[in-house]
């Protein structure tokens, strides 16, 4: 009976069936494990994104609160200025000609307010730092 070829064929078919089934279920479990790992990574990423969104939302709320305070102050100052202009209509007739503007720009610094003396630096650079202007500002006014 052991020497029967049908026994060996049946034994070989059984071994192939067990090996094939094991291979199939092993691959299925590997795919499931990979999906589970992806799910864990995705859950972590979503948690981090939610935390970041909460932080950004807090910062935006703080910014908007500060902005609203500035709006209230600006609105109050603007209303006072408008009321002052309504009381004093002569303010609307104020103006400077080219010479008056040149004199205003060349005025000395106010010691009490701490306003800086205008230097000949290029506009947009910090005071006392950067390149010097090519021409004296008064000459630039005359040239223009």
Query: pLDDT at position 144, please?
Result: 43
Strands annotated E in 1-144:
none
Domain ranges of the chain: 39-107
Average pLDDT, stretch 11-17? 94
Measured between alpha carbons, how far is 49 from 51 in angstroms, rounded to an integer?
Answer: 5
Higher pLDDT, 99 or 66: 66
Write phi, then psi, for 2 (nearest 5 degrees).
Answer: -70, -30
Residue 97 has pLDDT above 70, yes or no: yes
Rg, Å, the chain Cα set:
41
User: Is residue 12 pLDDT above 70, yes or no?
Assistant: yes
- pTM score, two decimals? 0.40
C-alpha dihedral, 94 to 99 to 103 to 106, nearest 10°: 130
């Amino acid at each position: 009976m052991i020497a029967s070829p049908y026994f060996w064929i049946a034994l070989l078919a059984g071994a192939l069936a067990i090996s094939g089934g094991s291979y199939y279920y092993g691959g299925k479990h590997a795919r499931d494990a990979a999906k589970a790992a992806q799910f864990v990574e995705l859950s972590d990423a979503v948690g981090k994104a939610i935390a970041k969104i909460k932080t950004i939302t807090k910062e935006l709320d703080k910014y908007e609160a500060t902005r609203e305070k500035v709006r209230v102050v600006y609105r109050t100052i603007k209303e006072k200025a408008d009321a002052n202009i309504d009381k004093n209509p002569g303010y609307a007739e104020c103006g400077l000609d080219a010479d008056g503007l040149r004199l205003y720009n060349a005025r000395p610094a106010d010691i009490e307010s701490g306003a800086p003396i205008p230097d000949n630096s290029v506009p947009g650079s910090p005071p006392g730092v950067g390149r010097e202007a090519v021409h004296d500002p008064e000459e630039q006014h005359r040239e223009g």
